[in-house]
Structures are given as C-alpha cells and as structure tokens.
Structure 1
C-alpha cells in the first residue's frame, strides 16, 4: 500500500515535467511602452500592454511609481489579460512610470519602466503684441513665444488675412525649434500683421497667437552690416540609427 501511494504521488510530477507540460519561468513577449496621451481625450481609456510566456501560465501585477496597484480598490484600473487599462485618465493621478510583473511558481520578472505623460498646449495670452519697426533691407526676427505645453510642436505663420502659410525662401525661415519667423532682408511688401500658428499633434490641438505688426521705418535704408547667426545647432542631438536629422541654421546680414 505504501508503494502504491508513492506511485500515485510521483505520476503527476512525471507528467508535469514531460512533454508540453515542461515547467518554465516567465519570459516577456511584450513589455509596456512609453505613452503620450492627449489631455483633451481624458474620457477615453489608456491600454499599457504586457504579455509573458511560461508554465504554469503567469499571473500579472502592475506597479505605478514603484507602488503596487490595488485592483480591488478602484474601477479606475483593471487588468485585461496582462494589460493594464486606465479608464478616464487624469493628470493628477495617473502621470508617472508603470511596470508589469509576471509571476509563476518558478519566479517573477519585472518589465521595463514605461512613462505615461499627457500632451497638451494652452491658449496664447490675448494681450496685444508690440509693433516691430525695421528699415528696408534690415533683418528681423518675429517671436512666436509658445504657451505652456507638453509634446512636440510644429510652427507656421500667416501674413495679414491670407489663409495660406508664409512660404520659406531665401529671405524667410520658420524655425521648428523656436517657432520664430526670420526675415533676412525686409522689403516694403513685408509690411503687415504676422500671426504664429502652433500645432501639437500628440495633443491633437492647434492654437494661434495674437498678430505681430511689422512696420517700415522712414528714416532711411539699412546699410551693410556683418552677418549674425540667429538659429544655431544644438550642442547635442540624439538620433536613432538610420534615422534622418534636420539641423537648422539661419543668419541675418547684408
């Protein structure tokens, strides 16, 4: 009888450790990635992905800013398989870093840290901008001055009531680093009102600033002056292998 009990106990172990039931520790097949979420879409849902192989099948937990998320205390967070779903995300509660943990009897693995940030751009202040006065032939910089934001921005300018954006040429340049409009040599046809337009693609929102008046001074034509670089290369540029990099350089002078 004693021998029979030993066989009964050993047979399940032999079956578990052979064939398709071979024990294996968890290995990630998908880890969470950084997310930049539009602030204006706060009524929707964010999904942070996580999946792992292993036998027995792993179960999952999540950490936010190093602290375990308690799924029993709130419907705000829920597990969908190994994925973390965040309903109606809020900046004051959800911004930060997230990590997924996958566990089975052979151990626990911890994923990379994934950042959750919210993309936004505020409206420009409505105060009137100062008039910029220049002589004919003089170079000028019109400042955009983007409002508080998070996320990558793209810039464009309009002139007077023309709905088309100012086109860049040998005299005019719009920096995608600062948003400023640079005119190398002002002509009489340049006189008018200029408006900066900003688009935050990640926030899915565009804003426009108040117009900046450009007027021509009547006390003569600008003489020659030495060139001055207005847009410089950054000291350091981080770029992925095989990606394209655009370096800006623009100078005023005559």
Structure 2
C-alpha cells in the first residue's frame, strides 16, 4: 500500500444545541483517511482541548463528543486537527451554538396613550435568546394577531410594533410573542395597553423614519437580502434605491420590489448600499 498524509473525508459542520434537549451530549464530526491511519486532536477557539483530563470530552473515530455540554464552557469555534508521519491538516472552523429562549420580565407595562392620527411604537423588549427569534404581536387575546399592512409593521430586528397613524380600531391590549427558530419555544410579554387621548386629533405631519437601513450590507452572491425601513406619519411617495447604479423607482406607500438576487421591502424613502461577498 502507498503511504500518504491525511485527507479529509468529512469536516465538522456548525451545530446548534437546544439547551432544553433531553439528549445530554453533542458531537462534532471529523473523518480523514491516510496511511498510516491519522490521529485526531480538537481545538476550541484556537486552543487544544485536553480530552485526557476532562471526562466530558471523548474522541471516537475522529469525532468529538461533549457530555453535559455547557454554553459558558463549550460554545465557540471548533477545528479538527489530524496528523500522521507524512503530514498534518487542520479543518475549517465549525461553530457550536446553544439554543435557548428566556422569559419576559413580569413587570407590568405602562399604557401608551396617543392622539388619533399619531404614530406610535410599542416596544417588545425581548428576553435573552439564541439564535434568532421570530416576532409577532397578539391583539387583545390569543390567537388574534396583528396583521402587517401599510399602517402597521413588526420589525424582525427588534420586535417593536410600529403603527404609522393610530385609529380608534387600534385601541386595545398588545402582547409581543417571540418564537425560537430552533426549538420552536414561545413566550409572551406582559400586555401593553394602547389608548386614545381625548384632547383632539393629530394633524398631518411629515413622515419620520423610525426603522433605518444599515449603511452597508454584506451578502453572498445569489443570496436574498431583506432590509427594514418604516416611517411614522403621512407617507405620500415611496422611492426605492437599487444596486449597481440602477435608477430608483417610484411607487406607493406599501410595495415589494424584487430585483435579481435581492429582495427589498419598502414603506418609505430608503437608501442603502449592498456589498456582494
């Protein structure tokens, strides 16, 4: 047989481990061929893991198994290092992340009182979580959800609910609902009452952008990019800026534009720059 250095058959992939899982161990896979058979070591955040002194770690056929994983001790970037007398190779980095969703603070939320026609922002203030969560709002009672339209917008960045011009039909109790994208766990916030003031109706006023685009967005070629922009107040026109020097288009106050490889969701005048990777 021919002698040769290690060659990867399988490198480790990113892993998300639910903290409430009944499975009390997590593994990252690594497999290589070589002659003579290679040996394996593992690194976390660039430092070699001492699998001999820590009983929680074991390496079986190249893969590392972590028993009773802990977010504080075990989350991070992992690499597999394999070697024989003819060479050594280091795998790509793989992230071990822990999925969880905490509870909202039980503190009573104050009522928000605005004039009819005024814009308002209801804060979600989500609990600690990992990884991403999906936001929605319950109106008065479950399962009556707030439907997004040209007046109402739910930011999937912050969870906040934006109402551009409050109407009498908006009066009621609002509850922020968050859902973990990995575990599907859901928790509800305390209610936020929305009431109308009795000292008149809000007059027309210039729109004020409350949700801004980031100045620069880095995206892989061919991927979908979704950016948020929302304004409070009366919106008369919408302008959409396109990448690569293309001329912007003018539309209504609620539009969806889909240029090649990108998706934009606009509710008022927006400007941003996209940098492909």
CA shift at 1:42, angstroms?
6.8
CA shift at 1:53, angstroms?
2.1
Distance 1:128 1:209 in 2: 10
Q: 1:107 aligns with which of 83, 87, 92?
A: 87
Aligned length: 234
CA shift at 1:121, angstroms?
2.2
Query: Relative contact order (C-alpha < 8 Å, sep 6+): which is higher?
Result: 1
Which has the larger share of helix?
1
Distance 1:179 1:118 in 2: 21
C-alpha root-mean-square deviation of aligned residues, in Å? 1.7
Indicate the SS of the match to 1:237.
strand
- Give unpaired runs (5+ residues) of structure 1: 1-20
Q: Does 60-69 or 158-167 show the bigger shift?
A: 60-69
Aligned to 2:227: 247
Q: 1:202 aligns with which of 182, 192, 196?
A: 182
Indicate the SS of the match to 2:193.
strand
CA shift at 1:136, angstroms?
0.9
Aligned to 1:59: 39
Q: Is 1:177 matched up with 2:164?
A: no
Aligned to 2:118: 138
Q: Is 1:190 matched up with 2:170?
A: yes
Distance 1:187 1:111 in 2: 58
Q: Is 1:35 matched up with 2:43?
A: no
Q: 1:155 aligns with which of 119, 135, 143?
A: 135
CA contact (8 A) 1:173 1:183 kept: yes
Aligned to 2:266: none
CA contact (8 A) 1:156 1:165 kept: yes
Distance 1:34 1:83 in 2: 13
Distance 1:224 1:204 in 2: 42
Within 5 Å, give how 1:40-51 maps onto structure 2.
Answer: 40-41=20-21, 43-51=23-31
CA shift at 1:35, angstroms?
2.2
CA shift at 1:212, angstroms?
0.4
Aligned to 2:3: 23
| Deviation by residue 1:31-54 (Cα, 9 ceiling, x = unmatched) | 212323222227432111111122
| Deviation by residue 1:218-240 (Cα, 9 ceiling, x = unmatched) | 11111011110111111232322
- Give unpaired runs (5+ residues) of structure 2: 235-277
Indicate the SS of the match to 2:89.
strand
CA contact (8 A) 1:39 1:203 kept: no
CA shift at 1:98, angstroms?
1.9
CA shift at 1:59, angstroms?
1.9
Aligned to 2:193: 213
| Deviation by residue 1:122-163 (Cα, 9 ceiling, x = unmatched) | 111111111101111111111111122221111000000141
Distance 2:7 2:84 in 1: 11
